[in-house]
Amino acid sequence: MTYRFPYNARILGTGSCLPEKVLTNQDLEKTLDTSDQWIRERTGIRERRIAAKGESSSTLGARAARQALSRAGVAVEEVELIIVCTSTPDVIYPSTACFVQRELGAANAAAFDISAVCSGFVFGLSIAEQYLKTGRYKTVLVIGAEVNSRLMDWTDRTTCILFGDGAGAVVLRREESEEPAGILSTHIFSDGNRADMLIVPGGIGKEPVSTQAVEDKLYTLKMDGQATFKVAVKRMVEASKEALACNGLTLEDLKVIVPHQANMRIIEAVADKLKVDISRTMVNLDRYGNTGGASIPIALNEAVENGMINPGDLVLLTVLGAGLTWGAGLIRW
């Protein structure tokens, strides 16, 4: 069903921030029973970025936000809402968004976090869309930021080879228009029955932090990779088709797909099932790995920077993450 709102929600500027430290597959060969060829053939990843001491989701997120604000020509005082999408918050509380707000000096904004892991940015975009299209806010900042390296078991080659750190951001503005533009629609979904497929089992709410839990590596990522692959392709394709159908558009109308950068095999399978040539799919997985909730905004920013996305283009975002969560977003640039 298509809903007509009083306003459009336009993306005015994008930005990203990647840590300087590069961890290559050759570096991992020194400590793991793996090889550059094995990693590239199974994932498409050659290297990833790793946060330095003192860097965090808030510091990376704030840098990405500054770039997005600068490109949008928007003063920080104009920002009314900051949504930070992260599964690696600086601390349990307060929210990472409040640290970002302080770093930016965005005194006029409300700020909060959401946690939908890799799907976080699309979920955050969906929240921003509602606030803007209904007229509640005029300017919203959505940030995806992760320091996944803090959650890795660096002895587990099935997980630590996949993930990297980084942040991406977009500035959205409410605009009056008779024709739909900007974010046409977002579609988000969850299936808690599959929560154990990707999980960091340690916590503070169910069980208190303990030395034993740390020794048992309960605060590192556990993943059923094979099962995740199968459901990722299915759900990302379903969500993508729903977004197009909701807006009376077809796959032929698409200019660019910006998928979650989890695994090259997943990206290729999604493109194949959508019958979209891989050349129309934004890929930077080889250089950054899976940056979780930062994945799509980093890739979106890069696609804008390199001229892959231009005004008027129809852009599809599609993702699956832990939860399970998944979704898609359709944007008329």
Which member of 17, 98, 118, 160 is catalytic?
Answer: 118
Same topology, domains 8-175 and 182-332? Answer is yes
Give the pLDDT of residue 227. 87
Q: Where are the chain's structural domains?
A: 8-175, 182-332
Sequence-distant (6+) residues with CB within 8 A of 19 are 49, 50, 51, 52, 55, 60, 165, 166
Please give the CATH superfamily to which domain 8-175 belongs: Thiolase/Chalcone synthase (3.40.47.10)
pTM: 0.97
Which member of 85, 98, 148, 260 is catalytic?
Answer: 260
Give the pLDDT of residue 3. 62
Q: What is the mean pLDDT of each run of 10 residues along the chain (333 residues)?
A: 80 98 98 96 98 98 98 98 98 97 98 98 98 98 98 96 98 91 97 95 89 94 90 97 97 97 97 95 98 98 98 98 97 98
Which member of 8, 284, 290, 301 is catalytic?
Answer: 290
Q: CA-CA distances (angstroms) from residue 229 to 43, 47, 178, 265, 283?
A: 11, 21, 41, 9, 17
Active site residue 187: no
Give the pLDDT of residue 179. 85
Active site residue 290: yes
How many Å apart are CA 321 and CA 87, to the nearest integer? 11
Domain over 182-332 is classified CATH 3.30.2270.10: no
Active site residue 247: no
